[in-house]
Structures are given as structure tokens and as C-alpha cells.
A and B are shown apart, each in its own frame.
Chain A
Amino acid sequence: MRRRLPPAALALLLAFALALVVPLSMCVGTSWQPPGTILRGALAAAGIGEPLPGVLQTIVELRLWRALTAALVGASLALSGGLTQGLFRNGLASPSLIGVTGGASLGAALAVLAVGGYAPRLVMEPGAGTVSLLMPVFGFLGALGATTLVALLASPGGRLSVPTLLLVGIAVNMCIAGVFAGIQSLTLANWEASRAILAWTFGTLEDRSAYHAATVAIGLALSLAVVPFVARELDLFRAGEEDARSLGVGTGAVKALALVAAALSASAAVAVAGQIAFVGLVVPHLVRLGSTSRHFALLPLCALGGALFLLGADLAQRALLGEGVLQPGVMMSIVGGPFFLVLLLRNRKEVGAW
């Protein structure tokens, strides 16, 4: 058996790394800012001490919200992945597969289509200083709707079947992709709308504000609050849902809670930062390989690990390629696929061990 870290040790390690990477990520950008400046700017943003001179304070604040948003988005996606994989007893399940990501995207696109013409300021993010209030709401509704649809269609006779889930997930995602493409095609002539939709699919961490960070934080917090109510239950799900029920698990309630929590955190994340794949798929695997598969520890560790993963990847990308070269969703797709493949090939046996 491979060596594994105790969950508490991994949690400390991740928290420590996060405490280093958040400020470091704020130092890196078009211009390097020394940690001292970053610290003073961050304190000023929190209302402590004098603001930095001129535009510097704005730069530091933008970087602060970017870093926090990235960390929170990574945490939400990974937590959602951990919940989804536990719920479906399958390490290949992810927020994207069960429609959370596609549904959120469709919801956001519908928001642009439906209200973009009447109230562009509510959805289109014309520039810094305005925030899209409706995108997260529509994204959440879309995510929940798509996930519910997938789960219901994959539950003939009220019992969720994992092989059916895989197929239904793919089919529903295809349907969503079709409708999504249709909306894109219809809005092609409308530059503002099609740009808003396209930019959204790539995902962005640019120009994030306190509103964005707070939206994701709320989704993440609600989702984390569900953990004590589903953790022990999801452990028992691993031997099959019927077996869990025979032990006294209220499987219907657990499935509903886990599903809502997974949809909630992922949709808040996707609504704020766009489609970002692979975090939700890979991070739970890494935590299981490195430490534990017991959900009470696994799920919070997914959140910590996901925060570090996305923030670290974003930092590395900006340090190597310069600011704004790749959107986080694009970067994750480029790096995430091969990374997951290597992980699978190197740990063929243990990857099954979830």
C-alpha cells in the first residue's frame, strides 16, 4: 500500500501553501509588486491604514479580488467534484459530466439572450465598476436544472444507475451544447451579446470584484455546511445505495442534499469565472491518492486543494506567459487533460481506490 498523509497533516500543508501562494499571486502581474506593498494595499482595502498612492491601490485591490476569486472558484469546483464522485460512486463523475457546468453556461447564455437587450448592465459586464447581478442566479438555476434532469433520467424506477448516468450525462450535455450553440448562432450579429457569451465560456478571472468573490464564497459556504450531513452517508454509499439504506441511511435525502450542494458550489463558481474544467475531476483524485477517501475529511480537503490548484495554476501561467495570455478555463483544458491522463496511467490501481 502506498504511503498516505494523515488528513490533518495534508490540511495543514495545503493551508500553509495557500497562505504563501495567495500573496505571491498578488505580487505577480504586468508589474512585480513587492510583498510589503501588497500587504499595505490589502490592509487598506480592509479599511486598515492609508491607501497606496495613486493607481497602485486599485492594482493591488484588483489582484486581491482576482486571487480570492481564483482560490474560491477552485475550492468550489473541487468540492463539487468530490460530492459528485461520492454521490455517483464513480471517480469519473465531475460537475461537467452531470451537467452542472453546461447547465450553468446555458443559464448564463439564456440570461444574456432574455434580459441582455432590456437590461444589459445586469448581465453583460460592460466594464469594471459594473457587475452582472443576474449571471450567477441564472447560472445556478441552469446548473440545478441540468443536474436534476440528468439525475432523473438516469434513475429508471427511482433508482439511480451509474452506467445510465454516464450515457445520460453525455446525452444531456450534447443537448445543452446544441442549444448553447444555437443561442451563439442567433446572437452572432449582436456583438455585445455574443462577446459576453463567448467570453463567459472561456472563463475569466480578470476584473473580478468583491461581489464575485462573495458570490462564490456564499456558494462554497452553503456547500461546505452540507458536508456533515452527507459525509458519513457517502462513505456508506460506496458499497451501493441499497446497502447504505439497509444500514439506515436516508438515501433519498442524502442524494438530494449532495446534488444540491454540488450544483450550488459549482454553479456559483462557473457563474463567476466561466467554465473551468478538470479542477473538479482531478483534485478529488489527488486527495484520495495522497490522503483519505473518507468524505468527512475528503470534502474539505478537496476545497483546500482546489483553491491551491487553480490559484497555483493561474500563478504559474501568469509567471511563465505573462498576464492575460490564457483564460483560466482554457489553461485548465490544455494542462488538465494530459495531467489527468498521466495520473491515471501512473496509478491505474489506486485511482480505482476511491
Chain B
Amino acid sequence: MVSLLAARSVVFDYPGPLRALDGVDLAVAARELVAVIGPNGSGKSTLLRCLSGLARPGAGEVELHGRSIEAFRDRERARLLAVVPQFLPALPDVSVDNFVLGGRYAHLSRWRGASARDRRFVALALEAADAADLGARLMSELSGGQRQRVLVARALAQEAEVFLVDEPTSSLDPEHQIRVFELIARTVAAERGAVVVTHELNLASQFATRIVLLDGGRVAAQGTAREVLRREVLEPVYGGQLYYGSVGEGEGERPIVVPWR
């Protein structure tokens, strides 16, 4: 399987004694939705920043299409790789439409404004992210959940091949949590790849094709939901306060993990 995006032995240090990432390998191919899980401070977001080319690893390499991500120009990289941040500032006087149009930046030519085609991409992306009704609103008027969906829409408008998503469901109600993961899974089905950092183990169980468990800046385990979401694997990392069960039968059976004292 050819990977779209791969981290090889990535090391990253913030100022201070602790390594944020200590030799992480992670690859994502087309049609893969890789969920990165792990406790707070395990290096998930740092890994995402390294994968996106926005942070430079102290050692190791990140490759996009087999080429070092540092060799890409920013525009070139943005046409292949889209980032969905967890939060952004509220942006008081930007309409949702114009904000999502920002996702088209890497496709726009300098001397021409947004074309009808760009506008169409924006409309389609908003519709796919369940935010078609928000287009004319101001970013500052949106709720946290609405803003999160708009961020997903902007990444879709970017037409990238790989999506890097940082906790997309942290301010969403259960229904929208499922819808956002469904949307990412649908996108991935169209020959895209996605790396999703999440604390939602059960959504990862349902939607991820592979789960990577980070602990202390290292990959503690990786595999399918059934391989990773087990007591023997999770307990050393998360501690004992989890209840393990399963939903579904046969091929469709998925583990569920619930915080339970």
C-alpha cells in the first residue's frame, strides 16, 4: 500500500526536559481513516503539527507523496493536505462563506478573485458539513459546534488528498459527533486519507480503519479497533477506570470503552 503521508522516526522537543515525540512512525494511505488516541500530553497534537509540516521535527522525516514535506511550497502542500484545527479565534466580521472560501486559497490565482467554481466548492463543502444554512452568518455568531463544522467544511473546500483533523467533535452533541465522523469516513472512501486525533474511543472504534495509541510520545499500540481497544492494551496507558464491552455481532462487532469507576 502506497502511503500518502508518512512520519518516519519523528522526534520533537518543546523547550524543557520532556520529549513530546520520541521516534514516532505513522503512515496513512488512501481510503484509510487513522484515529490517533492517547491520554492528555501524549503527543497527539504535536504529531499532527509535525504531519502537517507546520512544526519541524527535531529528527526524523515527514513525507508527503514520498517527498520530504519541507520540500513543498506552502501552496503546493496545501493543495494536497488540509488541516482542521480544534479551535480558531472568533473572527468578528468574516462571514462563514468567506471563511470557507479561505480554504480555496491554494487554488486561487493571484490576479483573479474566486470563480464560480470556487463558490460552488464552498457551497458543496458547507452542505456536506451540515452547515449550508450558516453561509451568510458571521463567524463570531456561531456556537462552538457550528464553528467546528465550518472548520471541517473549509478543509473539504481545500480539495486535499489528506486530512489532518484535531479533535473534531470536542464541542459537538452526540448526533453531530457521529455526523462529522461519517463525513470524514465518506471523504476517505473517495480515495482520500485522514488522520484524526480524538478522545472519543467509541467513535474511533466505529469509524477508524486503524487506531494508533500514543503514550509519552511513543506509539504504544496500533491496529484495528478490536486489536487496540482491549484491557491489556489500554490499562497500562489509561489506568483501570474503564469499562470494556462490545456492540454488534460477527464482522460488524466493535469494542466499546466507557469511563466507569
Q: In the complex, how many angstroms separate the beta carbon of A271 from the nearest chain B beta carbon? A: 31
Are A228 and B102 in touch, CB under 8 angstroms? Answer: no
A245-B102 contact given A228-B110, A239-B89, CB 8 Å threshold: no
Q: In the complex, how many angstroms separate the beta carbon of A351 from the nearest chain B beta carbon? A: 10
Are B92 and A246 in touch, CB under 8 angstroms? Answer: no
Are B83 and A249 in touch, CB under 8 angstroms? Answer: no
Q: Which of B77, B91, B92, B111 has the most CB of A within 10 A?
A: B92
Interface range on chain B (Cβ under 8 Å from partner): 20 to 34
Interface-located stretch among A129-137, A179-187, A229-237, A328-336: A229-237
Are B103 and A353 in touch, CB under 8 angstroms? Answer: no
CA distance A250 to B79 in the complex (A): 13
Question: Could you list some 30 contacts between A and B, CB below 8 A?
Answer: A228-B111, A232-B110, A235-B102, A236-B102, A236-B105, A238-B89, A238-B94, A239-B89, A239-B91, A240-B89, A243-B83, A243-B85, A243-B88, A245-B74, A246-B54, A246-B78, A247-B78, A247-B103, A248-B74, A248-B75, A248-B76, A248-B78, A248-B105, A248-B106, A249-B74, A250-B74, A250-B75, A352-B92, A353-B93, A354-B93
Are B92 and A232 in touch, CB under 8 angstroms? Answer: no
Across the interface, which residues of A come within 8 angstroms of B77, CB to CB? 248
Instruction: Convert B81-120 into 0s and 1s, putting 1 for each residue whose CB lies closer than 8 angstroms to a CB of A.
Output: 0110100110111100000001101101011000000000
Instruction: Convert B133-145 into 0s and 1s, putting 1 for each residue whose CB lies closer than 8 angstroms to a CB of A.
Output: 0000010000000
Across the interface, which residues of B come within 8 angstroms of A352, CB to CB? 92
Answer yes or no: B205 CB below 8 A from chain A CBs.
Answer: no
Across the interface, which residues of A come within 8 angstroms of B105, CB to CB? 232, 236, 247-249
Q: What residue in chain A is nearest B138 (Cβ atoms)?
A: A1
Across the interface, which residues of B come within 8 angstroms of A235, CB to CB? 102
Answer yes or no: B42 CB below 8 A from chain A CBs.
Answer: no
Are B88 and A246 in touch, CB under 8 angstroms? Answer: no
CA distance A248 to B79 in the complex (A): 8
CB contact between A251 and one of B74, B79, B138 (< 8 Å): that residue: B74
Q: In the complex, how many angstroms separate the beta carbon of B222 from the nearest chain A beta carbon? A: 25
Q: What residue in chain B is nearest A1 (Cβ atoms)?
A: B138
CA distance A354 to B93 in the complex (A): 7
